[in-house]
Every structure is written in structure tokens, then in C-alpha cells.
Amino acid sequence: MTMATYGRKETKATLSQNRIRIKKHYGQNFLVDKNMLEKIADTAALDERTGVVEIGPGTGNLTTQLVRRARHVLAYEIDEAFIGMLEETFSEERLTLKHGDVLKQDLDADIETHLGDAESIVLVANLPYYATTPIIMKCLEETTKIDRMVVLVQYEVARRLSAVPKTKDYNALSVAIRYRSEHRFAFKVPRHLFMPAPAVESAVIVLKTKREQRLERSLESYFFRLVKASFRHRRKTLLNNLSVFSEHAKDTLEEKMKQAGIHPGVRAETLDLEAFIRLARIMHAP
Ligand code: SAM
């Protein structure tokens, strides 16, 4: 069996030959334009020294571009329907395929095992819409092995990159991205290049991991949890969100917020990265 890797008609034919139904709940919007697939792979600047992590290879259209350019690709696919066809198409030398939910995987261990001899690691993916934020969050929080990420996301997520405090786009992801990476908006991807066309516009973003480790490991993991808890209910005050998250009594919390220079009545969306770092340090201290 040969597999078409791009083109609307070809992708439809491949899916039907293999009796694969498109599963909306897995965010399956296939990018079917060859030029755009190449442009994304080019943006990732891959070569024989680069190891790639791909999330959701699907029909293997982007994977084809990646295996051509990189040393080795490690890919996670949740939908079993694609596993057989991907295994038939790509040699094990070029691609390690893992069947499962990427959110449940140990990325550091897998990168060590399968991409251990690469000089740098790049994540390249057309991310499923329903899980874009948790996937990016996981990659920011749980691994330091990824050097850059080139990801296709809904335009709304791309806007969160540059979102500043006191705007509606600003959220936990904006803070985490700013903490961990230098980021840039690369380009827009029109809806009609996908099959099926998604309801929203898309864009490619590039995140380059910062090398400097500002907080030591256990404080850093506390910082990420604190940021997520702070935005849990947007309309609640920071104090109310944090009193669910923290073991400190409310008046101790108020005291700690004041020590960090934060008024207890404010909402999370008013705090910048530095304020979150100050607050994490003070709240984490015994
Ligand atoms: N790479 C293909 C492309 O560019 O056309 C498909 C991209 S499609 C937007 C998202 C892919 O991610 C689908 O193949 C879907 O089955 C897979 N996927 C969805 N949720 C996933 C998860 N939690 N873990 C791993 N793969 C997932």
C-alpha cells in the first residue's frame, strides 16, 4: 500500500482505502497543502543532527517532510487507526512511533531513549485543537530537553503569545510561555488548506526554550501550578483562587501576597511574570 501524504483528493482516498473515519473529537484537521507542509518543516530548520518530536502524525503528511530532513523522528499518535499505515510507510530507522495520548507520556525518558544521540531536539506538530493548551503547557513544564517548538495552533492561541496583562487573551499559557521561551509568531495558515476546514483561523508559532533556569526544579513546578490555579476562575479574585490551591489560611495568604507587593483584591490577569515569580517564592517558603 502506498500512502498519499498531501492533497485533498489523495488524502480522502487514503482514508477511505484504509477505512479510516475522521474523528473530530481527536482534533483531526489534516493539512493537505504540500507547499505549506514544506514551509512548516523549513521553519523548523532541521538537519541530520536534529531529533524531532511530532505529536499527531495522522496520515503522515507532515511526518514525510520531517523524516526527510531530520536525524530521527519520535511521534505520538492517539488514534490506533493510523498506526498500521504509518508503520508500513516509514522505516523504524527514521521514525519511532508511539501509540497513545501524548499527555500521559514521559517525554524526557522517551527523548533520552529514542533521540539521545541528537544534538538538538525540535518539536514540530499540527496540534489537535482540543488539546493545544495542555500539550504546550506539558512541553513547557515537564521537559527541558526540547530546544524549540514549531507548532501549528489556532490563531487564538497564537495571540496569547504576545498577550500582555490586563487583556482578555492573557492567561496561564501566556505566563508559562514568557517564563520558559522566547517566542515569535511565524505566519498564518488559511483554513482552506485543511481537510476538514476548521472553524477558526490557524497560525504557526515558534518557541525557543530559554537556557537559563530561573527557579530551581521544585520551586519551578510549584510556580507552574500556582499560575494555573491563579487563572482557574477568571472572574474570581487572586485571593479566592489561591485559597482553593494553597494550604495557607486566608489571612496568611493575604499577608504573603502583600509581601510580594500584590493587593489581595486583584485578579490574576493583572499580574506580570515577575509578580508571579515573586509570589511563588514567598508562598513556597516554609
Ligand atoms: N499531522 C497531521 C497533519 O498535519 O495533517 C494531523 C494533524 S491533526 C490536527 C492532529 C493529530 O493529533 C491527529 O492525528 C490526532 O489523531 C492526533 N491526536 C489528537 N489527540 C492526541 C493526543 N492526545 N496524543 C497524541 N495524538 C493526538
Tens digit of each residue's pLDDT (9 = 90 or more) over 86-98: 999 999 999 999 9
Are 200 and 224 in a shared domain? Answer: no
Are 193 and 277 in a shared domain? Answer: no
Are 177 and 229 in a shared domain? Answer: no
Are 159 and 258 in a shared domain? Answer: no
Model-level pTM greater than 0.75?
yes
Residue 248: band (very low, low, confident or very high) from pLDDT cuts 50, 70, 90: confident
8 Å CB contact between 245 and 229: yes
Which cell numbers hold the place of 128?
489537535
**Domain count along the chain:** 2
In this structure, what DSSP letter does residue 144 have?
A: S
Residue type, 205: I
**pLDDT over threshold 80, residue 62:** yes
Are 202 and 268 in a shared domain? Answer: no
As a whole number of angstroms, the longest Cα–Cα distance in the chain is 67
CATH code of residue 53: 3.40.50.150
Residue type, 247: E
Pocket residue to mutate for ligand 1, from 35, 43, 55, most atoms within 8 A of Cβ = 55
**What mean pLDDT comes out for the span 160-186?**
93
Say how many Å lie between the CA of residue 173 and the centre of ligand 1: 20
- State if residue 6 touches ligand 1 by the CB under 6 angstroms criterion: no
- Domain boundary residue among 154, 187, 209? 209
Which cell numbers hold the place of 272?
506580570
Task: Tell me what pLDDT residue 1 has.
Answer: 43
- State if residue 5 touches ligand 1 by the CB under 6 angstroms criterion: no
Percent over 90 (pLDDT), the chain = 90
Say how many Å lie between the CA of residue 155 and the centre of ligand 1: 17
Task: Tell me what pLDDT residue 160 has.
Answer: 84
pLDDT digits (tens, 9 = 90+) for 140-169: 999 989 999 999 999 989 988 889 999 999
Are 120 and 255 in a shared domain? Answer: no
CATH code of residue 263: 1.10.8.100
**What mean pLDDT comes out for the span 267-280?**
97
Length of the chain: 286
Q: What is d(CA 127, CA 150) in angstroms, rounded to the nearest whole number?
A: 10
Are 64 and 157 in a shared domain? Answer: yes
- Residue 67's domain comprises 2-209
76 exposure class (CB count in 10 Å sphere: 0-12, 13-18, 19+): buried
- Domain boundary residue among 177, 209, 241? 209
> In Å, what is the CA distance from 29 to each residue of 32, 40, 193, 244?
9, 16, 10, 37
- State if residue 51 touches ligand 1 by the CB under 6 angstroms criterion: no
Q: What is d(CA 107, CA 111) in angstroms, rounded to the nearest whole number?
A: 6
8 Å CB contact between 241 and 249: no
- State if residue 77 touches ligand 1 by the CB under 6 angstroms criterion: yes
**What mean pLDDT comes out for the span 86-115?**
97
Are 180 and 269 in a shared domain? Answer: no
Pocket residue to mutate for ligand 1, from 77, 133, 192, most atoms within 8 A of Cβ = 77
Are 15 and 103 in a shared domain? Answer: yes
- Domain boundary residue among 209, 231, 257? 209
Say how many Å lie between the CA of residue 151 and the centre of ligand 1: 12
Are 94 and 183 in a shared domain? Answer: yes
Beta bridge partners of 115: none
